[in-house]
Structure 1
């Protein structure tokens, strides 16, 4: 009898598993289908991103070449096109190029806005902070200390990529605002920063010497900030910068 009960129990168990399998089959198929659709969707999205980056690179390079030839109209058209694209890095770089063109044409306020837009466009601090620093330089040229200080102070954080250039700029803004003592203290400290670039240290030392010799009011005219050394164009972007797929 026990054998019969065991056989019957096994039969019932098998039937129950069969019923459960049949009932869950549509769900299992649906999950498998979703997984496949997700994989195909990811592949398609990645492929689309690659094409977008390649297209943005081509158009951006055309703008660079047009600018090199002095064709501002064509350069601006190319940069405006890539600035409207989906890739955040090319968008930021293009906005910086447009800011450079605006600044060259004497449109300082427009250039500052474009640099600000560029800083917001990229999540890469090497790109975003470069744009923010450029905007701060232009604000300094306008002699607005409060705005310059507000913009530069966050960039002086040790974790930011251009901390030493930002510290130098903030010190110069203080000097520009008549705070020679504050500027001297900041620049003197900067000249002893172990990790600071040698060029920054040397400039800091020269300005400190100029302050000590009593020619602080003319320092800005005889020692320009290194704006040209913080390039806007990709040829001088920070080493190792890769264009992210976003």
Structure 2
């Protein structure tokens, strides 16, 4: 009797499975095909992306070599081409390198290239800050203090990775503009930051020393009454 009930139960299970398969089998097959196709497409895309990145990397190195060889114009052209059709990461790198190459022959054009990077919301905030710092460095010897502050003041007031460079440039620009009191204050601001790099700290200490005379001495304490 037990065997009969067992066989009946097996028949019922097979019957239920057959009905389910008749109803949903085609969808199961389509799902399996879709999964296999998606996995194949993803593998193909990863392979294609790797090859594209390798090609962009090779072009980037070639352009760098042109720049190292003193062929600024050829390097600039190579970086410009890579910035147009390279992979995403290399496009941004190429734009930075192109701006750097351009600044060696045309400082104003180099500043404009860095300013364009700083204004591009499609790239990361840190990269945009780096572009502002680079533009300010190109201008620090010649441009009015307001032009420098426009680029680095907000970075200097923040707590990001580029704040030390921004404060350093701001103090130097204030010193060159003859605003010694402001330069002294910015130098002290730098020195008060415990995370400031040694090289920036040393320059800030020098600026503070050179501008000490611009800071009014503290009022002397009153003599005690007898």
**TM-score > 0.5 by shorter chain:** yes
Structure 1 residues 9 and 60: CA distance shift in structure 2, 3 A: closer
Does residue 143 of the first structure (1) align with residue 144 of the second (2)?
Answer: yes
Distance 1:62 1:165 in 2: 30
**SS of residue paired to 2:211:** helix
Indicate conservation of the 8 Å contact 1:191/1:204, yes or no: yes
Q: Which residue of 2 aligns with 1:94?
A: 94
Between structure 1 and structure 2, the one with the greater Rg is 2
Aligned length: 208
Distance 1:44 1:205, change over 3 A: same
Match of 1:242 in 2: none
Deviation for aligned residue 1:139: 4.7
| Matching of residue 202 in structure 1 with residue 202 in structure 2 | yes
For the 8 Å contact 1:129–1:161, the answer to whether it is kept is no
Instruction: Indicate conservation of the 8 Å contact 1:59/1:81, yes or no.
Output: no
The answer for the alignment partner of 1:75 in structure 2 is 75
Secondary structure in structure 1 of the residue aligned to 2:85: coil
Compute the displacement of 1:205 (Å).
0.8
**Alpha-carbon shift at residue 176 of structure 1 (Å):** 4.8
Supply the distance in 1 between the matched residues of 2:42 and 2:161 (Cα, whole angstroms): 33
User: Deviation of residue 15 (structure 1)?
Assistant: 2.8
Whose relative contact order is higher, 1 or 2, with alpha carbons under 8 Å and at least 6 apart? 1
Is the CA contact (8 Å cut-off) linking 1:132 and 1:151 kept in structure 2?
A: yes
Deviation at 1:59, TM superposition (A): 1.0
User: Which runs of structure 2 are paired with 1:90-169 in the superposition (5 Å)?
Assistant: 90-108=90-108, 110-119=109-118, 120=120, 122-123=123-124, 125=126, 127-140=127-140, 141-143=142-144, 145=146, 147-156=147-156, 157-158=158-159, 160-169=160-169
Assess, with a 3 A threshold, how the Cα gap between structure 1 residues 32 and 84 changes in structure 2: closer, same or farther: same
Give structure 2 stretches of 5+ with no counterpart.
215-226
RMSD across aligned C-alpha pairs, in angstroms?
2.9
Query: How has the CA–CA distance of structure 1 residues 23 and 11 changed in structure 2, closer, same or farther, with 3 Å as cutoff?
Result: same
Q: Equivalent residue for 2:61?
A: 61
Runs of at least 5 residues in structure 1 that lack an aligned partner in the other structure? 215-246
* Partner Cα separation in structure 1 for residue 86 and residue 71 of structure 2: 25
